[in-house]
Amino acid sequence: MTEQIITPSANDKNDTTTHNPETHNFDATDSYNFAYLDEQTKRMIRRALLKALAIPGYQVPFASREMPMPYGWGTGGVQVTAACLTPDDCVKVIDQGADDTTNAVSIRSFFARTAGVRTTEATDEASLIQTRHRIPETELTEGQLLVYQVPIPEPLRFLEPRETETRKMHALSEYGLMHVKLYEDISQHGHIATAYAYPVNVEGRYVMDPSPIPKFDNPKMSDCAAIQLFGAGREQRIYAIPPYSHVKSLDFEDYPFDRLRAPGACALCGADDSYLDEVIMDDQGTRMYVCSDTDYCSTRHERGHVGDQSDLFDSEEG
């Protein structure tokens, strides 16, 4: 135990120069570096990102830092975003597809505060989108970055809890256990009983956890024009899918992968192709279905699309 940390003396605590020797766009009230992380840490993360892009689907260990929000709240995604941001970026943050869920609001304001970057709710305006549990409905374009928050990066974890074992299985492409699991699902339930975090194979090599997105979103990962980056802070892993990579959801010839969504159309914008949230309206069990992607829904609404309860939209705005 020779590791000792040198801390500045009490007098140095408010000395901003200890935090930030060299960067611009600096918020003096916070006395933290641009986008919070120091430049050394960003460099370490960027190296991991480059490696991850070079080996699609492979989990690269990285020295995840403690962030000022808890593990489980998106610290991996936040670190990846922080390492990728430039002052010209425009950031969108969604949680459950929505820009206005509490954690999305919190992370967006974190970057607005520590990096001073522009923020947006419009998918097509954003240069970087950080997401938890969804891929936007609007097709992503070249030049965009999609950053996923990942809780458990290891797709084999619940089949084999030991990292030391699963790393070997990946190295040897030993994915039989996963196929057996999917097969057993079918034999017991008649379906592959995985509705989210549905495993994929990237470019015919690594089996990868797509993060807990509903399997409805899986096909959007394949042949995607945007760069997809995945950050798991607590588990200290980064992985990536380069643009236009082939991403295949695992399945069998006689039980092909199928997307799953609540049937019907959005009650607010009438979309019948989007992923729907089920909202319980009263204690009689009345339900309505609305788009989980709030930007997609409101954009459609603005363009004149209506659902059968669109009046709620207007009352929300008013």
224 annotated active-site: no
Q: How far is CA 16 from the centre of its chain?
A: 32
Binding to other proteins (CB under 8 A) within 226-245 occurs at 234, 236-237
**Which stretch in 202-210, 242-250, 255-263, 299-307 sits in contact with other proteins by CB under 8 A?**
255-263
Selected from 193, 223, 264, 302, the binder of other proteins by CB under 8 A is: 193
CB of 48 to other proteins, least distance (A): 9
CB of 205 to other proteins, least distance (A): 22
Question: Would you call 187 exposed, middle or buried from its count of C-beta atoms within 10 A (0-12, 13-18, 19+)?
Answer: exposed
- Whether residue 91 contacts residue 108, with contact meaning beta carbons closer than 8 Å, is answered with yes
204 annotated active-site: no
Q: Are β-strands 145-149 and 128-132 bridged in parallel, bridged antiparallel, or unpaired?
A: parallel
* Contact status: 109 vs other proteins (CB under 8 A): yes
291 annotated active-site: yes
Binding to other proteins (CB under 8 A) within 51-80 occurs at 61-68, 70-73, 75
By CB under 8 A, the count of residues binding other proteins is 76
* Contact status: 177 vs other proteins (CB under 8 A): no
**Which stretch in 81-89, 190-198, 200-208, 300-308 sits in contact with other proteins by CB under 8 A?**
190-198
- Identify which of 5, 6, 9, 43 has the alpha carbon closest to the alpha carbon of residue 23: 43
* Contact status: 264 vs other proteins (CB under 8 A): no
Residue closer to other proteins, measured from CB, 113 or 246: 113
What's the rounded Cα separation, in Å, for the pair 107 and 92? 10
Please give the angle made by the CA atoms of 296, 299 and 301, to the nearest 5 degrees: 105
CB of 56 to other proteins, least distance (A): 20
Alpha helices in 85-231 (DSSP H): 102-114, 163-171, 176-189, 218-221
Binding to other proteins (CB under 8 A) within 140-169 occurs at 151, 162-164
- SS3 of 201-239: EECCCEEECCCCCEHHHHHHHCCCCCEEEEEECCCCEEE
Catalytic residue from among 97, 291, 304, 318? 291
Binding to other proteins (CB under 8 A) within 271-300 occurs at 275-279, 281, 288, 290, 292
What's the rounded Cα separation, in Å, for the pair 136 and 142? 15
* Contact status: 81 vs other proteins (CB under 8 A): no
Beta strand spans in 63-180 (E): 90-95, 118-119, 128-132, 145-149
**Which stretch in 6-14, 80-88, 117-125, 173-181 sits in contact with other proteins by CB under 8 A?**
6-14
Which residues, other chains included, contact 204 with Cβ-Cβ below 8 Å and sequence gap of 6+?
246, 248
* Contact status: 5 vs other proteins (CB under 8 A): yes
* Contact status: 23 vs other proteins (CB under 8 A): no
Q: How far is CA 153 from the centre of its chain?
A: 12
CB of 149 to other proteins, least distance (A): 10
Residue that is written with structure tokens 């020295």 in the block: 63
Residue closer to other proteins, measured from CB, 19 or 246: 19
Selected from 23, 25, 96, 138, the binder of other proteins by CB under 8 A is: 96
CB of 66 to other proteins, least distance (A): 4
Residue that is written with structure tokens 């970055």 in the block: 145
Active site residue ranges:
57, 266, 269, 291, 297
